[in-house]
Structure 1
Amino acid sequence: MTSTPSRTLSTRIERWPIAGSFTISRGAKTEAVTVVAEVSQGGVTGRGECVPYPRYGETPEATLQAMQAMAEPLARGLDRIALQAAMRPGAARNALDCALSDLEAKAAGQRIWNLLGRPAPTPCTTAYTISLGTPAAMAEATARAAHRPLLKIKLGGDGDSERIAAVRKAAPKSELIVDANEAWTEDSLAANLAACADAGVILIEQPLPAGNDEALARIKRPVAVCADESVHDRASLEGLRGRYDAVNIKLDKTGGLTEALAMADAARAIGFEIMIGCMVATSLSMAPAMLIAQAARFVDLDGPLLLARDRDHGLRYDGSMIYPPDAALWG
């Protein structure tokens, strides 16, 4: 009787330069710091990548430690399903969950969507992000991207009405999503919503701070509003009724593909539109999210497009069209 070889875990922090800089209401950065997990068994290795989110108190070092703490349970046979209860949602669990999914697919010699009984991913259009800046700077950046069908505009509070008007003038034919990253207030909400409606914006992400968004239930919303920082996993969905029209699913928030798929199913059942989002990261982070993108109304998986370079075997981007991952990358 042959015993099953144990699993070994390898983790590391990687740094990927951003092309220029990436600016949102909470600050700017010039590199993407990711944490990679590799789970090996029987000569096969599965990979996953995550981006620790400072907004939730995550750091690369703490994320690395949380992943390394699972080395012994993984060696004893902890699988992807048991992982959900063994770790809290967040970046560390995401990398391990995606690595185990990749390992599962490679060991079976099948694509992960077949093993999960999900539709095979097909090409889809991703948003392209315009960083926060002055109206003139954002208009200049928008003009360079005006050929793209869907733009995501980072806003930041004071002056947002001017920013969105300048962006719309620079890209008259593009669909626009705006992301305030919790920077608006109850006092500025109505005026900013009206400015977005005037500009033909199709979606507004997280206008008010999470935990202080009650005003969304009391005001007429002329543009659909999407929860981002206010939503994490399935447990947070029910409290969003009446305030939001859509939810932004990010694997670093849900703690991996396993919960993200279940969350997408639950959100649609409640009546929410689905947005699949990302942090600035390589194609290894985007690849699992392509399974969610198949049922998403809004796709925002442009992370690799914002980097100076991507990893080997990265996703294929043809303009704003994103193609499913090759097995050499993931899944």
Structure 2
Amino acid sequence: MSRPRFKLEIQHWPYRQKIAISRGVLSTQTVLHATATWEDHRAQGEGEQHESDETLSMAAAERGQALLSQFEETPDRETLRRQLPADGLRNALDAMLWDLECKRSGLRAWELAGLPEIDATTRFPTLLTVTLDSPDEMAQQARRWGNAPVLKVKLGDRTPGGLDRDIERLHAVAAASPGSRLTVDPNEGWSPEGLQRFAAAVWSLPLALIEQPLPAGHEDLLPGLGLRIPIAADESCTTLDSLSRLVGRVQYVNLKLDKCGGLTEGLLMCREARRLGFQLMVGCNCGTSLAMAPAFLIAAFCDFVDLDGPLHMRNDRSPPISYAEGHLHAPDVALWG
């Protein structure tokens, strides 16, 4: 019987334009691309280490290749879940194994996962991101998205006077796109006092939620702030074990496959999060259509979907996921799953 051949490589995918968030400015995404070839089948997956850190990516690629070389046959997803930490490497390998099982079995990923049918007509509304910039430029970004159902506005200006400018930014975006619901993501950039002041200043706007306003680990402060706007945990929501610590502190949890280590863990988290009473988001760290494809299955559980990553990339994989009118469509079987 033939053995599978695995390959893990680092790839660089430039953004259409630089992306600013509260922690810095990004111009290129560094991803891990995992492939498996077995008989006539070729499978693939993609993951990103923390904010495209090149050193972390190189170390992860070496670690992953060494692990794969130990397997005489295809490792199962649960083995990877036990042996690797939850990160972009495990996400890439997990996605590759899902894709390989689909191709060898002739089943789609939604069938293997026991989910309702996903076909070529399935689509979900996705948040469209307005990146951190001046109020005028962010208003221009909002206009370029057209009549978007939901905009995600990056905030978290950490310079002196930054909170006042964040408030000005959100008002500018709301005025530029009056038909859109809004979410904001300061990426851990505010203090409890700043969060309270921001929430009071934007109460009249159609703001659906605030994502990770405080640094991870400070969620215990949220219930005492008297906020009327729902809060979502992002950096604080990592793996299955993190969910219980967030009960009573946030209303939403944002599941990202690069954080939790892949679709296998993500599906477990979806079911547990629902059991615990959370509402759900699925997000991404930008990425090509290959990174969005496994997350599309998670979207079936979610109240908010934040999978616009490929729209920010200069190039994409083939065949790409289709986006239209603020919605993303199901991935083609030739891409994944």
TM-score, with length taken from structure 1: 0.95
Q: Alignment partner for residue 249 of structure 1, among 238, 255, 259? A: 255
Q: Once the two structures are superposed, what CA deviation does each residue of 1:33-81 show, in whole Å capped at 9, x if it has no partner?
A: 1110002222312100011114999722122122212222333442112
Name the CA distance, whole Å, in 1 between partners of 2:201 and 2:335: 42
Structure 1 residue 12: Cα displacement = 1.2
Partner of 2:136: 136
Q: Alignment partner for residue 314 of structure 1, among 299, 320, 326? A: 320
Name the CA distance, whole Å, in 1 between partners of 2:202 and 2:53: 28
Q: Alignment partner for residue 327 of structure 1, among 310, 329, 333? A: 333
Partner AA of 2:45 in structure 1: G
Name the CA distance, whole Å, in 2 between partners of 1:237 and 1:177: 22
Structure 1 residue 209: Cα displacement = 0.3
Fraction of identical pairs, as percent: 39
8 Å Cα contact 2:125/2:328 also seen in 1: yes
Partner of 2:176: 170
Q: Once the two structures are superposed, what CA deviation does each residue of 1:9-39 show, in whole Å capped at 9, x if it has no partner?
A: 1011111121111110011112221110002
Q: Alignment partner for residue 213 of structure 1, among 201, 211, 219? A: 219
Q: Please provide the CA RMSD for this pair.
A: 1.6
2:288 corresponds to 1:282: yes
8 Å Cα contact 2:30/2:52 also seen in 1: no
2:41 corresponds to 1:44: yes
Distance of aligned partners of 1:57 and 1:248 in 2 relative to their CA distance in 1, 3 Å threshold: farther
8 Å Cα contact 2:219/2:246 also seen in 1: no
Q: Alignment partner for residue 196 of structure 2, among 181, 190, 194? A: 190
State the SS of the aligned residue for 2:315. Answer: coil
TM-score, with length taken from structure 2: 0.93
Q: Which runs of 5+ in 1 are unaligned?
A: none
State the SS of the aligned residue for 1:304. Answer: helix
Partner AA of 1:204 in structure 2: I
Partner AA of 2:61 in structure 1: L
Q: Alignment partner for residue 94 of structure 1, among 67, 91, 106? A: 91
Name the CA distance, whole Å, in 1 between partners of 2:230 and 2:56: 32
Name the CA distance, whole Å, in 2 between partners of 1:279 and 1:81: 24
Q: Once the two structures are superposed, what CA deviation does each residue of 1:170-223 show, in whole Å capped at 9, x if it has no partner?
A: 111101111010000122111112234321200110000001232212112211
Count of residues paired in the alignment: 328
Moved over 6 A (4+): 55-58
Q: Alignment partner for residue 259 of structure 1, among 256, 265, 274? A: 265
Q: Which runs of 5+ in 2 are unaligned?
A: none
Q: Bigger shift: 194-203 or 249-258?
A: 194-203
8 Å Cα contact 2:282/2:295 also seen in 1: yes
Name the CA distance, whole Å, in 2 between partners of 1:35 and 1:275: 24
Partner AA of 1:68 in structure 2: Q
8 Å Cα contact 1:8/1:71 also seen in 2: no
Q: Once the two structures are superposed, what CA deviation does each residue of 1:221-246 show, in whole Å capped at 9, x if it has no partner?
A: 21110000001011000111121000
8 Å Cα contact 1:120/1:291 also seen in 2: no
Partner of 1:150: 150
Partner AA of 1:79 in structure 2: D
State the SS of the aligned residue for 2:103. Answer: helix
